[in-house]
Amino acid sequence: MIKLTKLNRSNNDTFILNCELIETIEERPDTTIHLVNGKHFVVAECSAEVVAKVVEYKRSIYSR
């Protein structure tokens, strides 16, 4: 699970995303994360930050 910041007009809320559901990440110019279930989120983090968070999460699981 990774913590991200939802990008919307009213305020920037943080949320926790199950990174196992990520199908694609696009920057156009905002970062959009598409999930395997068809949902998508526009986030404040760039794609490199999202990938780094996923790698960090995976390392924390598999390094045990």
3-state SS string over 16-47? Answer: EECHHHEEEEEECCCEEEEECCCCEEEECCCH
Number of domains in the chain: 1
pLDDT at 24 over 90: yes
Residue of higher predicted confidence among 12 and 35: 35
* pLDDT, position 7: 87
Residue 18, pLDDT > 80, answer yes
Does residue 12 have a pLDDT over 80? no
Greater model confidence, 43 or 11: 43
pTM comes to: 0.89
Domain range for 26 = 2-62
Instruction: Return the pLDDT at 9.
Output: 65
Residue 62 token pair: 């598999």
